[in-house]
Structure 1
Amino acid sequence: MYLAQTAVAHDSNLTLVLHVLPAIVVILATSALCGRLALLLRQPRVLGEMVAGVLLGPTLFGSITPGLQRAIFTPEVKPVLYVISTIGLTLFMFLVGAGFDHGSGAAGGRQIRHAAVLALSGMLPSLLLGAASAVLLYDRLSRPDVSTAEFALFLGGALSITAFPMLARILYERRLQNSRLGRLSLLGASVDDAAAWCFLAVLLAMHTGAGLWHAMRTVGLAAVFTIVMLTLVARLLRPIGERVQRTGHFGFDHLYLVLGIVLLAGYFTDYIGIYSVFGGFIAGLAMPRHPAFRAALHNRMMDIVSVLLLPVFFTFSGLNTQLGGLAGWAAVLPFLLILTAGFIGKYLGCALAMRSIRFSWRESFAVGGLMNARGLMILIFINIGLAYQIITPDVFSMLVLVAVITTAAALPLYRLSIPAHMERRMTEDLPESAPSPAGTPANVPVSASVS
């Protein structure tokens, strides 16, 4: 009897593998093609990967060949894709945190205050305009079992978020991550996103009836976790960084330890109600800042995370996106209102904030364009909203389109604001000792490592 049950379980597992592997091959092929097309259009590769995910969903692939699309992305495959995508996002945010050069330079109280001003100026206008749009559109777009306040807060929160990984990849690609503009943008975006996730934790507590105490408990545990990681864990890891810097050897034992810390950090933040990607990011910040250690992390992990794991997440989101339902003025006008509210709030809010702290108008509008990109983070945000049934599939699809459009606009707006000769001066002004992106060696092309 036991042998028969074992054989059945083995056959079931083998069948699942035979479904998952072809799905991943299709995802990689489509992402590679769309990523290459994005580069030809002078857009970041990640935008092509986002579009690839949408194309593999019901909008195109499912519309042209619905039988084949259902055969590749079966109901059994989707949970596996979800797990893979969650691990990929957590590891990518870890690498972003590990590459963030927060320990050097004059990152004192003034820079933190400026980052807080930038974050609030990007969040509050988008939040208020998005909430106002939601109130106007409530009868047309909301689920009947979701209150006006919940719908307004969720839509405003989604529009207030910034694609921190997206912004980091653009700045790394242009070697601006350690410039005054780059450091402030990264710090402001990290504050923006951390606040957005705490905001979502409170909103979910309201929606599920868990109460304000549960939400405050979540925020408190997140604060304690951050303090412990950035003090105790960072101090315990420092000798490893010194050893790697001295010997140049980053072995499997080191990698086992790092991956264990990252996944446990992601598990803890997911468990307390804040998505696992922020556990990964905080774990990255806790890593030793030694250049050799950071370079080893990047060289071992970045390519496989960017090429294999992140495209799975984009596809998982794309499977829930149906843009065909947005045809006609009945859907187009609400979508345009949502897009305009999000774009104006973030772009002008961030630009005016940068100008108020004595950046030039060109630099200010460049940061406004970059902070307006929503990419990965809004996709994560709205996937949670769809899973908790706060928004409908139509609203989800609208917000996916907002993510694609604002992400596509980021680089053109940046280039329009900062010409190539001005950007060269900005990079030339950096000190020679400034680390390369995410710890990459200076002779590794940035576009190859992060795009």
Structure 2
Amino acid sequence: MPPVTAPPLGGHALLVLLVQASLLLCAALLLGRLAVRLKLPAVSGELTAGILLGPSVVGRLVPGFHHWLQTSEASQVHLLDAVGQVGVILLVGTTALEIDLGLVRRTGRKSLTVGAFGLLIPLGLGCAAGLVAPAVLLPAGRERGLFAFFIGVALCVSALPVIAKMLSDMRLLHRDIAQLTIAVGVVDDVAGWMLLSVASAMAASGLTLGSVAEPLCWLLLITVCAMVLGRPAIRWLMARSRTPHTVMATATLVIVGCATATQAMGMEASFGALVGGLLAGAAGSETKRALAPLRSVTLSVLAPLYFAEAGLRMNLFALGTPLIALAALCALVVATVGKFAGALFGARVAKLDRRAALVLGAGMNARGVIQIIVAGIGLRLGVLNTASYTIVVLIALATSLMAPPVLRRAVQRIEVNDEERARLQQSKDLAGTPREDALPTP
């Protein structure tokens, strides 16, 4: 008997997918640009696009169209989700290209110390919050211990892209404290993805000693293989890529291949994409330049589409229940206090003053893109339900909005030293900005 092949995608299914993607992308781009004009993170507008098209607004005003757009057929829902998952893998991979592990080595003990405290304290507080969370936030049939650990991971992550973007927009990258904040963000980012992979493996196999030990062994194996075998292999491949198109194809294959490997190990594909991006980025600046077109498509098309889809899954009416609204407020307080407390204790151990601790806490408190991805993974794995997913995404949005003003005021309290002035002038010279002492006096 010949093998049975799956039928091709039907015309109606394709139509629904195209309408979904077109509406989400159009709304995400428009509201994302509006958010930027209002000096807000673009992701806030992109999330709002999904919320407007989801059950919170369109679902109430035009229920018939919403039912057609958000069909309950699993196969149709998975089509749009698959597009979003590809976007997440490429987003994490291309973002990892810009991670400078050398910056962590240069800042040494300070970044590792603050990063460790800034990760462990909110992780512990988040786990404690998950243990006492209302039962209405737990999916049916899930262990509370696994839910608590995932909440801890969701509340302890920091968004390195958001941190770097904020410091760049505020023109603070020449400051020493800004460089230290980015280095701490690198530590939190990499460790957070590792913890997420452990949580994902536990979600698949249950909360047992083996479910914890196995992903940790895989993490150790992946790290060793990436450092010993991966780095020289990728450099060898990149050196033989003669054209920019070949470099881009090779780097993309590395990112997707690593994501495939970690997914096959029972871990999260996004962690593999992070490892692949780090390996590709270590091959040199040529790789980063060649991947500029892929990064542009990812950031301008796939990422907004994914974040709009993330908003589509939110239901703000869940917050109408007083118990859930109170839980959301408490989770926001726990998340914020955890990051600032971690920065304060880490700064004390690293012998930094309170002003530096405030800057580090403000920067690390921005969750943004990473926490939204974590929330989506939790919903996909069945660790979060719609109510808890909505709370986690709202925390990501709230912390990203509160970070810039706090960070701006905190940095202003730290005096600029001569080395920072020289660094700023050097960047102006490279940009073609006239020197201040060369400007004509009025």
- Match of residue 77 from structure 2: 78
Describe the shift of the 1:116–1:326 C-alpha distance in structure 2 as closer, same or farther (beyond 3 A): same
Does 2:57 correspond to 1:60?
yes
Structure 1: where are the runs of 5+ without partners?
435-440, 444-451
Does 2:181 correspond to 1:159?
no
1:190 deviates by 3.6
Q: Which range is displaced more, 197-206 or 379-388?
A: 197-206
Structure 2 matches for 1:204-283, cutoff 5 A? 204-207=200-203, 208-209=205-206, 211-238=208-235, 250-283=243-276
Describe the shift of the 1:428–1:9 C-alpha distance in structure 2 as closer, same or farther (beyond 3 A): farther
**Which of 120, 125, 128 is the equivalent residue of 1:129?**
125
1:281 deviates by 1.9
Amino acid of the structure 1 residue aligned with 2:187: V
CA root-mean-square deviation: 3.4
Contact between 2:359 and 2:407, CA under 8 Å: does it hold in 1? Answer: yes
Does 2:288 correspond to 1:291?
no
Describe the shift of the 1:177–1:61 C-alpha distance in structure 2 as closer, same or farther (beyond 3 A): farther
Amino acid of the structure 2 residue aligned with 1:314: F
What is the rounded CA distance, in whole Å, between the counterparts of 1:424 and 1:113 in structure 2? 22
Does 2:86 correspond to 1:87?
yes
Q: Deviations over 1:101-156 (max 9, x none)?
A: 334x6825xx3433332222222222232233333334454346334433332322
Contact between 1:85 and 1:313, CA under 8 Å: does it hold in 2? Answer: yes
Describe the shift of the 1:268–1:240 C-alpha distance in structure 2 as closer, same or farther (beyond 3 A): closer
- Match of residue 392 from structure 1: 385
Amino acid of the structure 2 residue aligned with 1:134: G
Does 2:191 correspond to 1:195?
yes
- Match of residue 48 from structure 1: 45
Describe the shift of the 1:222–1:330 C-alpha distance in structure 2 as closer, same or farther (beyond 3 A): closer
- Match of residue 35 from structure 2: 38
Describe the shift of the 1:140–1:107 C-alpha distance in structure 2 as closer, same or farther (beyond 3 A): same
Q: Which range is displaced more, 208-217 or 50-59?
A: 208-217
TM-score normalised per structure 1: 0.81
Amino acid of the structure 2 residue aligned with 1:44: P
What is the rounded CA distance, in whole Å, between the counterparts of 2:199 and 2:174 in structure 1? 35
Q: Deviations over 1:306-331 (max 9, x none)?
A: 11111222123223211112115333
Contact between 2:28 and 2:308, CA under 8 Å: does it hold in 1? Answer: no
How many percent of aligned residue pairs carry the same amino acid? 25
Contact between 1:94 and 1:283, CA under 8 Å: does it hold in 2? Answer: yes
Number of residue-to-residue matches in the alignment: 424
Contact between 2:201 and 2:267, CA under 8 Å: does it hold in 1? Answer: no
Describe the shift of the 1:231–1:14 C-alpha distance in structure 2 as closer, same or farther (beyond 3 A): farther
Describe the shift of the 1:393–1:66 C-alpha distance in structure 2 as closer, same or farther (beyond 3 A): same
Q: Which range is displaced more, 129-138 or 416-425?
A: 416-425
1:304 deviates by 0.6
Describe the shift of the 1:26–1:365 C-alpha distance in structure 2 as closer, same or farther (beyond 3 A): same
1:203 deviates by 4.2
Describe the shift of the 1:127–1:295 C-alpha distance in structure 2 as closer, same or farther (beyond 3 A): same
Structure 2 matches for 1:351-390, cutoff 5 A? 351-354=344-347, 356-359=349-352, 361-390=354-383
What is the rounded CA distance, in whole Å, between the counterparts of 1:163 and 1:55 in structure 2? 25
Find the residue that maps to 2:112 and give its secondary structure.
Answer: helix
What is the rounded CA distance, in whole Å, between the counterparts of 1:220 and 1:55 in structure 2? 43
Structure 2 matches for 1:294-309, cutoff 5 A? 294-297=288-291, 299-309=292-302
Structure 2: where are the runs of 5+ without partners?
433-442
Describe the shift of the 1:383–1:240 C-alpha distance in structure 2 as closer, same or farther (beyond 3 A): closer
Find the residue that maps to 1:418 and give its secondary structure.
Answer: helix
Contact between 2:145 and 2:207, CA under 8 Å: does it hold in 1? Answer: no
